[in-house]
């Protein structure tokens, strides 16, 4: 008797859900291998993402998981907010990955630091301490559970955005600062109209070709553009278009 495959065919909706779960994660469970005995160890870490969606963590050399990934970079990250009611009814994503340290003074490190601190501004207090370092978790495969009987396998290509992303990186931070300083009302309207969020002091924390990330305290929302951007010059019109639609609603 052939057993039925419990995983559904991966479609565009599953890919968008997986990317949304990852983009909106503030914390996750990081599983590593204890160098002392090889046993798995799970710890909680704060999470952000590169522009392409690759997870970012900031960890101290004094932590057990830092020592573990430096001995063996293989790891797994579970993200997904449990929400109200049955926690198993809410979407969650597990990524099998390889941890890689980002060396200070490199563009990749600076990009990671900027985006991480946009998501976790309080980490500014210790991000530059000598014993702390940024790591990105390079995805291999992913397992998405979108709720009861909605399980999917995802490839690396389905989890992260393709490059090149340098043109977007060059304009991202200035656009974020401009929107938060001069168009806070538009940012709030984004959250209310497109994410069904409550009013408040929402901040734009990240921009990429697929959409934008917003936060208000512990609440994080992901808003996708109608179509992924094909050129960085289309970023401003896309933000203006979102603001107009939100205002007119």
208: β partners: 211
Arithmetic mean of pLDDT, 86-111: 94
- What's the pTM value of the predicted model, to 2 decimals? 0.94
For the cut 90, the answer to whether the pLDDT of residue 3 exceeds it is no
- Per residue, the 3-state secondary structure of 50-101, as one string, reads CCCCCEEEEEECCCHHHHHHHHCCEEEEEECCCCCCCHHHCCEEEEEEEEEE
pLDDT in tens, 194-228: 999 999 999 999 999 999 999 999 999 999 999 99
pLDDT in tens, 76-87: 999 998 878 888
State the angle between helix axes of 166-182 and 235-248 in degrees (0 to 180), rounded to the nearest 10: 40
pLDDT in tens, 105-154: 999 999 999 999 999 999 999 999 999 999 999 999 999 999 878 899 99
Listed in order, the ranges of the chain carrying CATH 2.30.110.10 are 12-159
Listed in order, the ranges of the chain carrying CATH 3.20.180.10 are 166-248
CATH code for the part of the protein at 12-159: 2.30.110.10
For the cut 90, the answer to whether the pLDDT of residue 15 exceeds it is yes
pLDDT at 2: 54
- E strands, the chain, are 27-33, 40-46, 48-49, 55-60, 74-79, 92-101, 132-145, 151-155, 203-208, 211-216, 219-224
At residue 50's C-alpha, the angle toward residues 155 and 113, to 5°, is 150
CATH code for the part of the protein at 166-248: 3.20.180.10
* Alpha carbons 129 and 181: distance in angstroms, whole number: 29
Backbone angles phi, psi at 94, to 5 degrees: -110, 130
For the cut 70, the answer to whether the pLDDT of residue 173 exceeds it is yes
């Amino acid at each position: 008797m052939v057993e039925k495959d419990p995983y559904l065919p991966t479609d565009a909706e599953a890919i968008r859900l997986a990317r949304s779960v990852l983009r909106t994660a503030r914390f996750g469970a990081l599983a590593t291998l204890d160098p002392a005995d090889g046993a798995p160890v799970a710890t909680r870490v704060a999470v952000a993402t590169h522009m392409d969606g690759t997870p970012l963590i900031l960890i101290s050399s004094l932590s057990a998981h830092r020592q573990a990934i430096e001995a063996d970079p293989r790891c797994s990250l579970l993200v997904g907010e449990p929400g109200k009611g049955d926690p198993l009814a809410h979407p969650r994503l597990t990524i099998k990955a390889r941890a890689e340290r980002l060396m200070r003074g490199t563009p990749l490190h600076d990009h990671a630091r900027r985006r991480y601190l946009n998501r976790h501004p309080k980490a500014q207090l210790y991000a530059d301490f000598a014993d702390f370092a940024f790591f990105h978790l390079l995805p291999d495969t992913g397992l998405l559970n979108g709720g009861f009987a909605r399980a999917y396998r995802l490839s690396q290509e389905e989890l992260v955005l393709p490059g090149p992303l340098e043109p977007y990186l060059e304009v991202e931070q200035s656009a974020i600062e401009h929107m938060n300083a001069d168009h806070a009302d538009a940012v709030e309207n984004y959250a209310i109209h497109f994410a069904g969020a409550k009013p408040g002091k929402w901040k734009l924390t990240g921009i990429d070709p697929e959409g934008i990330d917003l936060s208000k305290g512990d609440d994080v929302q992901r808003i996708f553009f109608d179509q992924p951007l094909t050129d960085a010059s289309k970023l401003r019109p896309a933000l203006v278009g979102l603001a107009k639609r939100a205002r007119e609603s």
